[in-house]
Amino acid sequence: MADKPKSRRTAAARPARKPFARWAKVFLSELAATSNISAAARKAGITTATAYDQRRHDAEFNRAWQRALCEGYDHLEMELLRRLRDGEIKPAAGAKKGTRTFDNATALRLLAAHREAAARQRAIHSNQDSEAIIQSINAKLEVMRQRRLAAAATPQAGPDADVEP
């Protein structure tokens, strides 16, 4: 019996997936801007399930996702600081002028939701930076050792070199 070709119905039932490279950049950019996975998926034109599947199966995408959330956390932190300093002007009922309010409950909830993940990501990044610093220090120490060895190997004139006996 010959293999039957797949029916059109099976292929049509499955929605076509957008190529990863097309949506990933948009998704990660929106995730960094909003810290909202659903909003990022909508902007990228994918489902949240697609994003979570990609994150689960692609370690590099998972790392990029974490960096985007960390950047989003930084944006939230800056927005919270702006609100704490400036407040928001909202119109009071029946008043001609608005009053400055300082409603930070939503921002604080968002910060709390992302704090642990961002702290983990910063720790990973900090650890990578410390390794680079140690390598740089070791390289500078090696250059200093080489200079010292070279200086010890070449005869130098002492303080009496200019004076004849």
3-state secondary structure 21-44: HHHHHHHHHHHHHHCCHHHHHHHH
Q: Residue 147 in contact with residue 154, Cβ under 8 Å?
A: no
Among the residue ranges 1-15, 57-71, 103-117, 144-158, the one predicted with the least confidence is 1-15
Q: What is the pTM (predicted TM-score) of this model? A: 0.47
Residues near 104 by beta carbon (within 8 Å), at least 6 away in sequence: 80, 83, 84
Asked whether the predicted pLDDT for residue 10 surpasses 50, the reply is no
pLDDT grade, residue 99 (50/70/90)? confident
Of 114, 124, 34, 28, the residue nearest 75 (C-alpha): 34
pLDDT tops 70 at residue 18: no
Higher confidence at residue 58 or residue 100? 58
Band of pLDDT at residue 136, cut at 50, 70 and 90? confident
159/91: higher pLDDT? 91
Contact 72, 33 (CB under 8 A): yes
The model's confidence at residue 133, banded by pLDDT at 50, 70 and 90, is: confident
Chain centre distance of CA 130: 17
Given a cut of 50, whether residue 11 has pLDDT beyond it is no
* Predicted pLDDT of residue 57: 92
Structure confidence at residue 13 as a pLDDT band (50, 70, 90): very low
